[in-house]
């Protein structure tokens, strides 16, 4: 009987742990999708859409529990997204996107954003990296003027 109780308790803790992991992944995955929306808007040279996407990013970052992602990390992400959201100039948005990307790359190495690989891409002209859902380059730092400039540095699986 004691063996069954111990097994049941272990099983219960496993379910709780998996549930907490799943919730964390869902929240952080949504943040990543908001980030991808910012990246895509920048690659399309659309400052207004970039601003809207950054506002959504801030909303998502504001509801993530500090127990899941540290308060310091979330504050840095929100700060960068706020600058992007408030900027009406795409060059300012792109400059700040570099900081946001570096912080998101760090987060991507800690959390699993997706079942698929997340690609870390790099533009030597801008000396900046970003994350992508696909290996195809869509450069957020130069947009349409140099859309395919860059390469895949690594894949986070």
In a domain, 146, yes or no: no
> Is residue 79, in this structure, part of any structural domain at all?
yes
CATH number for the domain harbouring residue 66: 1.20.120
Within its chain, how far is the Cα of 90 from the centroid?
20
Expressed as residue numbers, the domain containing 29 is: 2-112
- Kindly give, in sequence order, each residue whose CB lies less than 8 Å from that of residue 98, ignoring residues fewer than 6 positions away: 126, 128, 129, 141
Number of domains in the chain: 1
- Is 107 inside any structural domain? yes
Q: Is the pTM of this model over 0.85?
A: no
Question: Could you tell me if residue 68 is inside a domain?
Answer: yes
CA distance 76 to 128: 18
Paired strand residues for 121: 130, 152
Residue 75 lies in a domain: yes
Per-residue pLDDT of the chain (157 residues; tens, 9 = 90+): 555 455 444 443 433 333 334 444 688 999 999 999 999 999 999 999 999 999 999 999 999 987 778 888 899 999 999 999 999 899 999 999 999 999 999 999 988 888 899 999 999 999 999 999 999 999 999 999 999 999 999 999 8
């Amino acid at each position: 009987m004691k063996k069954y109780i111990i097994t049941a308790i272990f099983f219960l803790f496993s379910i709780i742990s998996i549930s907490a992991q799943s919730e964390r992944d869902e929240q952080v995955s949504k943040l990543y999708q908001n980030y991808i929306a910012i990246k895509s808007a920048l690659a399309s040279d659309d400052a207004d859409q970039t601003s809207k996407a950054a506002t959504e990013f801030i909303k998502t970052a504001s509801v993530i529990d500090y127990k899941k992602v540290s308060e310091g990390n979330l504050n840095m992400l929100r700060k960068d997204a706020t600058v992007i959201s408030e900027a009406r100039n795409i060059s300012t948005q792109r400059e700040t996107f570099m900081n946001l990307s570096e912080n998101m790359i760090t987060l991507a190495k800690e959390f699993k954003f997706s079942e698929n690989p997340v690609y870390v891409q790099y533009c030597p002209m801008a000396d900046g990296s970003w994350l992508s859902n696909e290996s195809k380059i869509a450069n957020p730092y130069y947009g349409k003027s140099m859309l395919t400039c860059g390469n895949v540095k690594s894949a986070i699986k």
